[in-house]
Amino acid sequence: MFKQGEKVDIVTASQQFKGVFIKEEKDFLIIKLSNGYNIGIAKRNIKEQKSLGMTKEEGKEEKELKDKEAKEKPNSKLPTIAILHTGGTIASKVDYSTGAVIAQFTEEEIIKLFPELKQTANITSRLIRNMQSEMIRLAHYNIMAKAVEEEAKKGVDGVILTHGTDTLHYTAAALSFALESIGIPVILVGSQRSSDRGSTDASQNLLAAAEFIANSEFSGVAICMHEKTADENCLILPACKTRKMHTSRRDAFRPINALPIARVNVEKKKIDFIASDKHEKDKKEKEKKKLTLKLFNEKLKIGLVKPHIHMFASEILAYKDFDGLIIELLGIGHVPSMKVDEFTEENEHIIKAIAELAKKMPVAVAPQTIYGRINMNVYTPGKQLLEAGVIGNYTDMTPETAFIKLAWLLSNYEKEGKEKIKELFEKNLRGEISERSEKESFLN
Ligand code: DAS
């Protein structure tokens, strides 16, 4: 049998697999493919298997040189950037000697993984969580916000938060709300390809974020990911108006109802601001904004429901014991709400269920179309929703940002009553609601 870390070539009746042997299980061989993913191959299906030799250990002298570089003293001429890790594929690599995906989080490891960072800034780096971002809960936003506050108090010039891509846009919105009056840049960075693969987007995303922090006057929370699938530019994207729009493309993150804040070309060290609102840092000491943490109530239960054809009122009533609900409205602002023939009686129960919940909790809305603004004054179904007491008319938030904003409002303003929650939900606080719809911001 193979040794752990041995390169193998395995042929089954239908496929050929080349990778690194990780371990043998009762009926399977587990190998790691070059794309970083592990697969199990059923022994009964294996027709041929052969060794292609052991993976190369990093040369001793090469390792010593890299360690020495990583430990060099901070350069007083460069800004200091704190990198906080929460997990995801960006700060990990495959250790091909064992095949395991190993987390790389210390300064030394990060500098070895991305040595060019040292030309741009002094780097500190620490792990605050090591989790896939789809597992995140409200409590983790409080942990992240407190960690950012800790770095801000140390006087760093900016923070990079490495994060899984699946819910990166939720976290960006959450930190944008929680870190009130943050006077430094906090840039969330993920990657769609693990950092050890040739096609990784990790280093360019990280280097672009560092370049933007070091050489712009931006302050506030934002996202930095690839502009296109090609390794050319990265975009700095608005924290509350960005969404992951593709399962795997490197340019999956797109601004929604907004323009990108800036474009960064790492190679040319070029930063071009695009959107007009640049969130300039406070230059004069006296104006220095005081960071205030407004955290999340970790016990809140907020629902997110997507109305559809042939819906049932029970899908709304399922949230009757929740604290708040976001409804992703169809079109410009509708749900199945009207009995129009013998097949549509259930629709009347749906709008009644919404009105029932809206008496007990804030029921807010966002568009299923993702792009565009809600307007419930145009057609009857929209008017029925307004009569039922839902909030969020004329907003153009993504469903994810609306979810985060409602959770944050109920965490911090619940005692001020329903009217205050409605007023703040429909008011632009962190750039989450566009003052006017920019036509060029559709599918850009
Ligand atoms: N599972 C994905 C996540 O943690 C991995 C990644 O995209 O970083 O969001």
**88 in ligand 1 pocket by Cβ < 6 Å?**
yes
For residue 166, the ligand 1 atom closest to its alpha carbon is 9
Nearest Cα residue to atom 6 of ligand 1: 164
What tens digit of pLDDT does each residue of 170-183 get? 999 999 999 999 99
Provide the 3-class DSSP secondary structure of residue 347: helix
**190 in ligand 1 pocket by Cβ < 6 Å?**
yes
pLDDT at 82: 95
Active site residues: 89, 165-166, 244
- pLDDT mean over 328-338: 98
**195 in ligand 1 pocket by Cβ < 6 Å?**
no
pLDDT at 286: 37
Taking 90 as the threshold, does the pLDDT of residue 189 lie above it? yes
pLDDT at 194: 75
Tokens of residue 277, six digits = 């609102």
Look at the block and give the residue holding tokens 């399962």: 247
**171 in ligand 1 pocket by Cβ < 6 Å?**
no
C-beta of residue 107 within 8 angstroms of C-beta of residue 70: yes
pTM: 0.84
What tens digit of pLDDT does each residue of 226-275 get? 999 988 899 999 999 999 999 999 999 999 999 999 999 999 999 999 98
pLDDT at 66: 59
The average confidence (pLDDT) of the chain is 90
- pLDDT mean over 338-353: 98
Cβ-in-10-Å burial (0-12, 13-18, 19+) of 354 comes to buried
**194 in ligand 1 pocket by Cβ < 6 Å?**
no
- The Cα 375–Cα 377 span in angstroms is 6
Domains of the chain: 6-54 (2.30.30.520), 64-293 (3.40.50.1170), 302-425 (3.40.50.40)
Ligand 1: which of 38, 85, 163, 165 to mutate, judged by most atoms within 8 Å of the beta carbon? Answer: 165
- The Cα 77–Cα 130 span in angstroms is 32
pLDDT at 177: 98
What tens digit of pLDDT does each residue of 268-314 get? 999 999 987 666 654 444 356 789 999 999 999 999 999 999 999 99
Instruction: Report residue 443's pLDDT band, with 50, 70 and 90 as the boundaries.
Output: confident
- pLDDT mean over 335-352: 98
pLDDT at 5: 80
- pLDDT mean over 320-346: 98
Q: Output the CA 347–ligand 1 centroid distance in Å.
A: 38
Look at the block and give the residue holding tokens 């807010």: 364
Cβ-in-10-Å burial (0-12, 13-18, 19+) of 309 comes to exposed
Taking 80 as the threshold, does the pLDDT of residue 112 lie above it? no
First-to-last C-alpha distance (Å) of the chain: 52
What tens digit of pLDDT does each residue of 355-373 get? 999 999 999 999 999 999 9
- The Cα 72–Cα 264 span in angstroms is 27
For residue 167, the ligand 1 atom closest to its alpha carbon is 9
Taking 80 as the threshold, does the pLDDT of residue 101 lie above it? no
pLDDT higher at 75 or 421: 421
- pLDDT mean over 315-334: 98
For residue 135, the ligand 1 atom closest to its alpha carbon is 4
- The Cα 152–Cα 81 span in angstroms is 10
- Encode 194-230: b = buried (16+ Cβ within 10 Å), e = exposed: bbbbeebbbbbbbbbbbbbbbebebbbbbbbbbbeee
